[in-house]
């Protein structure tokens, strides 16, 4: 657990609870936000993705907007720093399976594109002409694609 020196984080009972729960505790340097970069990044994302786009008229509405964003941030939003999975997927150990499935889908898509490209090239052999402009064999041909004007 990383936090600043706030009173709620340094009291003895809180630290005992963390220890009993298996957490280690670390205090960041005062007035040095870089030492708590993940939390600072979260606050930046919260502001840019939600708070700057909402008119927070009252406390209850602001609380709902923030609660909804925390849920989205942890359970839906993909994070590039952890391999484009959600923090929940990472925490629950699903990241390797998700990434393996994505790799397989990419491999399959590449193969489908390769096969489609081969089929396209085969169909082009029927649309070729010889160097002298006559129709015929495709040994020394110019390729004529459907996008070329006049063919």
What is the pLDDT of the chain when averaged over all its residues? 82
Asked whether the whole model's pTM tops 0.85, one would answer no
E strand residue ranges, 1-151: 2-3, 26-27, 128-130, 141-143
37-49 and 59-75 helices cross at what angle (nearest 10)? 120
Q: Whose CA is closest to 88, among 66, 67, 102, 70?
A: 70
pLDDT of residue 3: 77
For 89, the token pair is: 């997927």
Is the per-residue pLDDT at 123 higher than 50?
yes
- Among 1-15, 80-94, 107-121, the range scoring the smallest mean pLDDT is 1-15
Q: Whose CA is closest to 91, among 110, 116, 73, 66?
A: 73
Is the per-residue pLDDT at 6 higher than 60?
yes
């Amino acid at each position: 657990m990383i936090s600043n020196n706030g009173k709620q984080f340094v009291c003895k009972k809180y630290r005992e609870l963390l220890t009993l729960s298996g957490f280690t505790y670390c205090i960041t340097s005062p007035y040095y936000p870089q030492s708590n970069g993940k939390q600072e990044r979260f606050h930046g994302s919260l502001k840019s993705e939600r708070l700057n786009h909402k008119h927070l008229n009252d406390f209850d509405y602001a609380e709902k907007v923030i609660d909804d964003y925390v849920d989205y941030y942890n359970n839906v939003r993909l994070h590039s720093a952890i391999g484009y999975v959600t923090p929940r997927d990472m925490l629950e150990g699903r990241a390797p399976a998700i990434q393996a499935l994505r790799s397989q889908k990419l491999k399959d898509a590449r193969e489908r594109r390769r096969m489609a490209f081969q089929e396209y090239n085969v169909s082009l052999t029927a649309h070729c002409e010889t160097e002298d402009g006559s129709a015929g064999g495709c040994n020394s041909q110019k390729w004529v694609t459907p996008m070329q004007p006049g063919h």
